[in-house]
């Protein structure tokens, strides 16, 4: 299946279990893969035959910057479910939310959660 890919969308948000995370905030990275048939858009060269990428970005931005979650898992789940609800042509999504500076001692590039969600044959979310 074809896909639209967003890599490394950067946001400053206030998600986290600890009060300091909700008060001070921290940077996040979000990657999204939206799986859909892009054949018609590739042949027609018309925006109407695909998804306006800016709409995907704004949806993710809204969730990242205007909502507050305790768990990165919940952030990823909301992004995935909203993408599937908003864009009926998307059959499956993969969402990765990375917290580059979580409050965990040690040396690492970040901690991430990656989920995959798909629409079932009946049009409902699976």
Mind telling me the catalytic residues? Answer: 99
Select from 51, 116, 45 the least CA-distant residue to 89. 51
| Spatial separation of the C-alpha atoms in residues 99 and 108, rounded to whole Å | 11
DSSP string, 92-107: EEEEEEEESS-S--S-
């Amino acid at each position: 299946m074809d896909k639209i890919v967003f890599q490394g969308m950067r946001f400053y948000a206030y998600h986290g279990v600890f009060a300091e995370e909700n008060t001070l905030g921290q940077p996040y990275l979000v990657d999204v893969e939206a799986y859909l048939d892009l054949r018609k858009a590739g042949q027609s060269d018309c925006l109407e035959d695909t998804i306006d990428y800016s709409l995907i970005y704004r949806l993710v931005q809204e969730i990242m910057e205007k909502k507050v979650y305790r768990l990165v898992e919940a952030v990823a789940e909301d992004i995935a479910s909203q993408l599937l609800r908003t864009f009926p042509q998307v059959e499956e999504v993969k969402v990765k939310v990375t917290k580059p500076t979580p409050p965990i001692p040690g040396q690492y590039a970040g901690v991430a959660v990656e989920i995959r969600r798909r629409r079932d044959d009946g049009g409902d979310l699976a």
